[in-house]
Amino acid sequence: MQPDDIRSEFKNIISQCKTFDDLEGARVHLLGKKSALLNLFRSIQWLQIDEKKKLGRELNLLKNEIEFLLESTRSKLDSEARDKALSEKIDVSLPGVKYELGSIHPISQTAFEILDILDTLGFESVHGPEIEHDFYNFESLNISQNHPAREMQDTFYIAPNIVLRTQTSPVQIRAMLALKNPPFRIACFGKVYRRDQDITHSPMFHQIEVLHVNKNISFSDLKGTVTLIMKRLFSNKVQIRLRSSFFPFTEPSAEVDISCIFCNQSGCRLCGETGWIEILGCGLVHPKVLKRININPETYTGFAIGIGVERIAMLRFQIPDIRLFFENDLRFLSQF
């Protein structure tokens, strides 16, 4: 191909370009590594000096013309695209795209509300792992290898000594070890696991653990704190009752009942005609638990509370079956 052939061809090629892709194709064809023009540039080296100058000038001129036409065609395509976009009409009367709004799960709602109450009392929210060492989940909480209390919390073992935590109580130990020096005032919300299922038990459920360790903490601090949480959560009229109980990591231990919020204590199906509803477990931290992590139980005492979040949510929203929380049925979830 001679320069004149290229000259007579390039305007035609570029003028046929309708899109940016076409234009890029034309650029590669006319100026790329395999183009006729570049071949001519390469052939210059074999010419006499005069010829070299002449052809060089001519080829550079040709290259400039091609580049100019490519560039002006690109601007033309640009402004055509802009005009087209500007002339598009939007029909504002068309129905919009609907975004479904989610809502906070009733378990989270309940937990956040309890944590908020605890926050106003100065309890800081902390977290611990769901896959836990036997030591934190049992041993350090005074539940030794053959302790019958393990039976009540038969769990999922991942490896010897590694379990899915059966309770949030191990976070008491983790928090005390991490914070080192009392006072400790922490709350932990999280998932726990047990081999258990019926309409009030699920193999995965949620607890909130509360721990307060300081000088001169007594049972009356525990009772006052529990009463306040229950009144804020249910109603100012709610009464609490403490029954003696047993947990290996607290001494003394208590089970807390609230006066039935459904029947005002006249007796109904929900309180089993007793007028009271069992709500949580608590107690004063066992001296052995403190001693094991080098906190002197002569100087420091504390209380701990374990709250089952599902139980509270079932009472507050009057939900009859725990499984409803975890079936992800929108007919259920969209009510909250």
- Interactions with ligand DAH, residue window 168-187 (CB under 6 A): 169
Shortest CB 239 distance to ligand DAH, Å: 20
Token pair 């194709």 is found at 25
Q: Does residue 137 bind ligand DAH (CB under 6 A)?
A: no
| Of the residues 23, 226, 282, 295, which one makes contact with ligand DAH according to CB under 6 A | 282
Amino acid at 18: K
- Specify the length of the chain in residues: 336
Tell me the backbone φ, ψ of residue 240, rounded to 5 degrees: -120, 155
Distance of CA 317 to the CA centre of its chain: 24
Token pair 């400790």 is found at 184
Per DSSP bridges, beta strands 157-159 and 301-308 are unpaired
CA distance 327 to 291: 43
Residue 215 neighbours by CB under 8 Å, 6+ apart: 182, 183, 299, 300, 301
Q: Does residue 283 bind ligand DAH (CB under 6 A)?
A: yes
Given a contact cutoff of 8 angstroms between Cβ atoms, the answer to whether 284 and 250 are in contact is yes
Token pair 């906070």 is found at 104
Stretch that binds ligand DAH, among 15-23, 68-76, 123-131, 275-283 (CB under 6 A): 275-283
Considering beta carbons, is residue 73 or 169 the nearer one to ligand DAH?
Answer: 169
Given a contact cutoff of 8 angstroms between Cβ atoms, the answer to whether 321 and 222 are in contact is no
Considering beta carbons, is residue 37 or 128 the nearer one to ligand DAH?
Answer: 128
Considering beta carbons, is residue 62 or 282 the nearer one to ligand DAH?
Answer: 282
Shortest CB 305 distance to ligand DAH, Å: 5
| Of the residues 281, 301, 311, 315, which one makes contact with ligand DAH according to CB under 6 A | 281
Considering beta carbons, is residue 40 or 257 the nearer one to ligand DAH?
Answer: 257
Number of amino acids touching ligand DAH (CB under 6 A): 11
Q: Does residue 128 bind ligand DAH (CB under 6 A)?
A: no
Considering beta carbons, is residue 82 or 291 the nearer one to ligand DAH?
Answer: 291
Token pair 């009942």 is found at 257
Shortest CB 204 distance to ligand DAH, Å: 13
| Of the residues 35, 167, 202, 259, which one makes contact with ligand DAH according to CB under 6 A | 167
Contact characters 227-266, ligand DAH, x per CB under 6 A? --------------------x--x----------------
Residue 128 neighbours by CB under 8 Å, 6+ apart: 136, 165, 168, 170, 171, 174, 175, 188, 190
- Interactions with ligand DAH, residue window 295-334 (CB under 6 A): 304-306
Closest by alpha carbon to 271, among 238, 231, 305, 245?
238
| Of the residues 30, 66, 186, 209, which one makes contact with ligand DAH according to CB under 6 A | 209
Interface residue list for ligand DAH (CB under 6 A): 167, 169, 209, 247, 250, 281-283, 304-306
